[in-house]
Structure 1
Amino acid sequence: MKTKITGHDLIALGYRQGKWMKDAITHINENALEGEAMKTYLEQFKSPDPIALHKKPLTFSINIKAENDEEKDNVDKVINSMQTLMKTPTLVGGAIMPDACPAGPDGTIPVGGVAVAKNAIHPGMHSADICCSVMLTDFGKADPKDILDAAHANTHFGPGGRDRDSQFRFPAELLEAFEANYFLGDKDMIKMARAHLGTQGDGNHFLFVGTSKKTGNTMMVTHHGSRGPGARLYSKSMKIAERFRKELSPDTKKQNAWIPFDTEEGKNYWDALQVIRQWTKRNHEVLHNSVAETLEVNIENRYWNEHNFVFKDGDLFYHAKGATPLDPKFMPDITGPRLIPLNMSEPVLIVEGTTTDSNLGFAPHGAGRNVSRTQHRKSKTGSTMQIFKEETRGLDVRFFSKEIDITELPSAYKNAKAVRAQMDEFGLGKVIDEVMPYGCIMAGDFQKNAPWKLRREKRNKTRR
Structure 2
Amino acid sequence: MNGKHISKLGFENKAIGLALSAASLREGAGAGREEILNELRGVQAAPQEYAAGGVYAALAAHLLEQHAKAEAKKGVALYEKPLPYGVWGADLIESGARAQMDVAMRLPISRAGALMPDAHVGYGLPIGGVLATEGAVIPYGVGVDIGCSMMLSVLPVAPEKLATEEAGALLLKHTRFGAGVGFDKREREDHAVLHDPAWQDQAILRHLFDKAVAQIGSSGSGNHFVEFGTLTLNQPDEGLEAGTYLAILSHSGSRGFGAQVAGHFTGLAQKLHPNLDKAAQKLAWLPLEGEDGQAYWQAMTLAGQYALANHELLHARLARALGVKPLMQASNSHNLAWKQRVNGQELIVHRKGATPAAAGQLGLIPGSMAAAGYLVRGRGHPEALASASHGAGRQLGRKAAANTLNKKDVQAYLKREGVTLIGGGIDEAPQAYKRIQDVLARQSDLVDIVAEFRPRVVRMDTGSEDV
Equivalent position of 1:457 in the other structure: none
Greater shift after overlay, 141-150 or 226-235? 141-150
Equivalent position of 2:141 in the other structure: 125
Equivalent position of 1:138 in the other structure: 154
Equivalent position of 2:296 in the other structure: 269
Residue 318 in 1 paired to residue 349 in 2?
yes
Give the 3 Å change call, closer, same or farther, for CA 394–418 of structure 1 in structure 2: closer
Question: In angstroms, what is the RMSD of aligned CA positions?
Answer: 2.8
1:278 corresponds to which letter in structure 2? Q
Pick one of 158, 161, 183 that aligns with 2:181.
Answer: 161
Equivalent position of 1:441 in the other structure: 459
- Any unmatched runs of 5+ in structure 2? 1-11, 18-43, 46-62, 234-242
In the TM superposition, what is the alpha-carbon distance from 1:293 to its structure 2 partner?
1.5
Give the 3 Å change call, closer, same or farther, for CA 131–19 of structure 1 in structure 2: farther
For 1:373-412, what aligned pairs fall within 5 Å after superposition? 373-381=398-406, 384-400=407-423, 405-412=425-432
Give the 3 Å change call, closer, same or farther, for CA 251–416 of structure 1 in structure 2: closer
Work out the CA distance in 2 between the residues paired with 1:421 and 1:125. Answer: 26
Q: SS at 1:423's partner residue?
A: coil
Cα deviation digits, residues 97-152 of structure 1 (max 9, x gap)? 11011124xxx311111111111110011111111100011112253444553233
- Any unmatched runs of 5+ in structure 1? 1-17, 24-41, 329-333, 450-464
2:175 corresponds to which letter in structure 1? T
Give the 3 Å change call, closer, same or farther, for CA 160–278 of structure 1 in structure 2: same
Residue 98 in 1 paired to residue 117 in 2?
yes
Equivalent position of 2:310 in the other structure: 283
For 1:237-248, what aligned pairs fall within 5 Å after superposition? 237-246=265-274
In the TM superposition, what is the alpha-carbon distance from 1:155 to its structure 2 partner?
0.3
Q: Alignment identity in percent?
A: 27
In the TM superposition, what is the alpha-carbon distance from 1:173 to its structure 2 partner?
5.3
Work out the CA distance in 1 between the residues paired with 2:252 and 2:349. Answer: 21
Q: Is the 8 A contact 2:89 2:116 kept in 1?
A: yes
In the TM superposition, what is the alpha-carbon distance from 1:201 to its structure 2 partner?
1.2
Give the 3 Å change call, closer, same or farther, for CA 173–141 of structure 1 in structure 2: closer
Give the 3 Å change call, closer, same or farther, for CA 51–136 of structure 1 in structure 2: same
In the TM superposition, what is the alpha-carbon distance from 1:160 to its structure 2 partner?
0.9
Work out the CA distance in 2 between the residues paired with 1:178 and 1:192. Answer: 15
Cα deviation digits, residues 34-92 of structure 1 (max 9, x gap)? xxxxxxxx9987834544221221111111232xxxx5xx5322212211221111111
Residue 259 in 1 paired to residue 286 in 2?
yes
Q: Is the 8 A contact 2:179 2:255 kept in 1?
A: no
In the TM superposition, what is the alpha-carbon distance from 1:184 to its structure 2 partner?
4.6
Q: TM-score, normalised by structure 1?
A: 0.77
Equivalent position of 1:4 in the other structure: none
Greater shift after overlay, 303-312 or 134-143? 134-143
Q: TM-score, normalised by structure 2?
A: 0.77
1:231 corresponds to which letter in structure 2? A
State how many pairs are aligned: 391
Q: Is the 8 A contact 1:178 1:184 kept in 2?
A: no
Q: Is the 8 A contact 2:167 2:457 kept in 1?
A: no
For 1:352-431, what aligned pairs fall within 5 Å after superposition? 352-381=377-406, 384-400=407-423, 405-424=425-444, 427-431=445-449
For 1:14-413, what aligned pairs fall within 5 Å after superposition? 47-48=70-71, 49-66=74-91, 71=92, 74-104=93-123, 108-142=124-158, 143-145=161-163, 146-162=166-182, 164-171=184-191, 174-182=194-202, 184-186=204-206, 188-214=207-233, 215-246=243-274, 253-313=280-340, 315-327=346-358, 337-381=362-406, 384-400=407-423, 405-413=425-433
